[in-house]
């Protein structure tokens, strides 16, 4: 079945990110006859890639030409998943880039292993879709930001809520002032599953690997502003040391330049009843429950804004791939909804939370106040 989101509708919804529109465009466009497919290469055929490949099979304008992984069994898995396109397999991504005529490359490697691949892909001039988080340290995020800002191709990050019909309908209600001035934001990602022995460094710890999705949504609600300060308290349920293991529970609060506070809990190992995703934005007149697609007034009114996406963390994931391919096919002129600037803020926010939660010198979970400037990013504008 082909994916049928109309391009016109998509471009309309894409336009709501004012900062994205203001960024200007670059392109490595080649002329695409209507019936020619966009040539796709993949790097990193793990768990997430499996889902993305299933979704990519719905995008009829795309053809997977090559798949690359360090492990031969993963290459075979990629070939199987994209069997209709008969892709070639590679263990070396540079060889893949040298040997194949590619238009776009998707990087789906581990969170702390994005910049060594994304930077050369961008420098070689390809359009690049890379999974979130951008990477797991400020230095590696800055490396991608510098490469993406100077690239001929565009960079798109896998924060799929930026492509979700539910979030795309709910966010303008907030951004256009229908709820009055935003006063407070509350979020949670609570899980039944989890382990006290999940490794920290690979993921950049829990907030970075996962909650970066929600940091991204809330900076969107703040009109792409980043917070000025943050405090975070967290721990590992089995007292595993934070240098090695991820936190299992954390509570983090961010303060934005206009004083708005975003309070967030990220919890694992709960009874199934409590497994819930929450993203609430409160204003002077009303509040929006973003995943529910609902607005609730202080006057007790209720208004449905969109179809709900509660519990569907994958909302927007087909749309983001459709847009990646469509953008390439139409010349790479559009700044993606989830772009280098949105990805930078969402990722740095989550690194900010982790920095406020863990004192790595003491190998201890210790709450501290961290200011944005303490991160030392060299890519602030
Ligand atoms: N958007 C979402 O909702 C979502 C959901 C889950 C995971 N993710 C993200 O997807 C990314 C991948 O996560 P995963 O769980 O699939 O990881 P994974 O460990 O299952 O897969 C990573 C793969 O990359 C391969 N790889 C590493 N270095 C390579 C290189 N130099 N060349 C070729 N292949 C290489 C590994 O061999 C492995 O097969 C992460 O950034 C994660 O945060 C996103």
Residue 319: other Cβ atoms inside 10 A = 21
Q: Of ligand 1's atoms, which has the minimum distance to the CA of residue 49?
A: 16
pLDDT tens readout for residues 114-163 = 999 999 999 999 999 999 999 999 999 999 999 999 999 999 999 999 99
The CATH number for 54's domain is 3.40.50.720
What's the pLDDT band for 313 if we cut at 50, 70, 90?
Answer: confident
**Whether residues 211 and 117 fall in one domain:** no
**Does residue 321 have a pLDDT over 80?**
yes
Distance in Å, CA 351 to ligand 1 centroid = 19
Position 381 in a domain: no
Asked if residue 292 and residue 236 are part of one domain, the reply reads yes
SS in 3 state form for 168-216? Answer: HHHHHHHHCCCCCCEEEEEEEEECCCCCCCCEHHHHCHHHHHHHHHHHH
Residue 133 inside a domain? The answer is yes
- Ligand 1 atom with minimal separation from the 159 CA: 1
Identify whether residues 102 and 221 lie together within a single domain.
no
User: pLDDT at position 252, please?
Assistant: 98
| pLDDT above 70 coverage of the chain, percent | 92
The answer to whether position 380 is within a domain reads no
Residues 30 and 59 in one domain: yes
Q: Does 1 reside within a domain?
A: no
Q: Are residues 135 and 226 in the same domain?
A: no
- Of the pLDDT bands very low, low, confident and very high (cuts 50, 70, 90), residue 314 is confident
134/232 same-domain check: no
Distance 156 CA to ligand 1 centre (A): 16
Is the whole model's pTM more than 0.75, yes or no? yes
> Are both 61 and 83 inside the same structural domain?
yes
Is the confidence at residue 7, as pLDDT, over 80?
no
Lowest-confidence pick of 86-90, 119-123, 307-311: 307-311
Closest residue by Cα to atom 24, ligand 1, is 44
Domain with 293 in it: 164-308+344-375
**Res. 35: pLDDT tops 90:** no
Domain count, the chain: 2
Q: What is the pLDDT of residue 29?
A: 54
The answer to whether the Cα torsion of 324, 325, 328, 333 is positive or negative is negative
CA of 21 to the centre of ligand 1 (A): 29
**Residues 68, 55 within the same domain:** yes
Residue 15 has pLDDT above 80, yes or no: no
pLDDT at residue 34, rounded to an integer: 78
- Report if residue 2 sits inside a domain: no
Residue 112 CA, ligand 1 centroid: distance in Å: 9
What 170-173 contacts at long range (C-beta under 8 Å, 24+ apart), as own/partner pairs, is 170/288, 170/290, 170/293, 170/295, 170/305, 170/306, 171/16, 171/220, 171/221, 171/290, 172/16, 173/288, 173/295, 173/305
- Tokens 């939370």 found at: 353
Please tell me the residue having the least CA distance from ligand 1 atom 26. 44
266 and 355 share one domain: yes
Nearest atom in ligand 1 to the alpha carbon of residue 160 is: 1
Query: What are residue 254's DSSP bridge partners?
Result: 230, 262
Q: Per the domain annotation, does 132 fall within a domain?
A: yes
**Residue 36, pLDDT score:** 92
- The overall average pLDDT reported for the chain is 92
Res 312 pLDDT > 80: no
Residues 47-77: tens digit of each pLDDT: 999 999 999 999 999 999 999 999 999 999 9
Distance 364 CA to ligand 1 centre (A): 28
Q: Find the CATH number of the domain harbouring 240.
A: 3.30.360.10
Report how far ligand 1's centroid is from the alpha carbon of 204 (Å): 13
**Whether 334 and 356 share a structural domain:** no
State residue 311's pLDDT score: 75
Is residue 357, in this structure, part of any structural domain at all?
Answer: yes
Q: Which protein residues are within 6 Å of ligand 1, measured from CB?
A: 43-49, 68-71, 74, 93, 108-111, 113, 117, 131-132, 158, 160, 209, 313
- Is 165 exposed, middle or buried, given 0-12, 13-18 or 19+ CB atoms closer than 10 A? middle
283 and 326 assigned to the same domain: no
Name which residue sits closest to atom 8 of ligand 1, judged by CA: 48
* Same-domain status, 217 and 353: yes
The pair of three-digit structure tokens given for residue 262, joined into one six-digit string? 């975003």
């Amino acid at each position: 079945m082909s994916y049928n989101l109309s391009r016109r509708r998509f471009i309309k919804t894409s336009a709501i990110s004012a900062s994205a529109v203001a960024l200007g465009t670059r392109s490595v466009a080649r002329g695409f006859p209507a019936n020619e497919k966009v040539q796709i290469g993949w790097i990193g055929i793990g768990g997430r890639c499996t889902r993305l490949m299933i979704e990519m099979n719905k995008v009829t304008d795309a053809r997977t030409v090559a798949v690359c992984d360090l492990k031969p069994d993963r290459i075979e898995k990629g070939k199987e998943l994209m069997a209709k396109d008969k892709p070639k397999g590679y263990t070396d991504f540079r060889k893949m880039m040298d040997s194949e005529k590619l238009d776009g490359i998707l990087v789906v490697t581990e969170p702390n292993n994005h910049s060594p691949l994304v930077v050369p892909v961008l420098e070689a001039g390809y359009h690049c879709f890379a999974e979130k988080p951008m990477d797991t340290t400020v230095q590696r995020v800055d490396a991608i930001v510098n490469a993406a800002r100077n690239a001929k191709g565009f960079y798109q990050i896998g924060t799929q809520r930026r492509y979700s019909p539910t979030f795309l309908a709910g966010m303008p209600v907030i951004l256009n002032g229908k709820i009055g001035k935003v006063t407070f934001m509350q979020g949670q990602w609570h899980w039944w599953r989890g382990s006290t022995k999940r490794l920290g460094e690979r993921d950049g710890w829990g907030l970075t690997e996962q909650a970066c999705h929600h940091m991204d949504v809330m900076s969107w609600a703040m009109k792409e502003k980043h917070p000025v300060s943050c405090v975070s308290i967290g721990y590992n349920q089995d007292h595993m040391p934070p240098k090695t293991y991820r936190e299992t529970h954390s509570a983090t609060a961010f303060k934005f330049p206009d004083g708005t506070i975003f309070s967030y809990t990220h919890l694992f190992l709960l009874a199934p009843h409590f497994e819930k995703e929450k993203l609430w934005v409160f204003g002077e007149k009303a509040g929006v429950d973003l995943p529910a697609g609902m607005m609730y007034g202080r006057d007790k009114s209720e208004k449905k804004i969109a179809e709900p996406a509660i519990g569907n963390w994958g909302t927007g994931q087909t749309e983001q791939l459709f847009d990646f391919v469509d953008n390439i096919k139409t010349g790479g002129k559009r700044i993606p909804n989830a772009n280098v600037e949105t990805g930078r803020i969402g990722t740095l926010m989550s690194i900010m939370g982790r920095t406020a939660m863990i004192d790595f010198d003491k190998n201890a979970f210790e709450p501290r106040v961290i200011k944005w400037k303490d991160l030392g990013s060299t890519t602030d504008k």
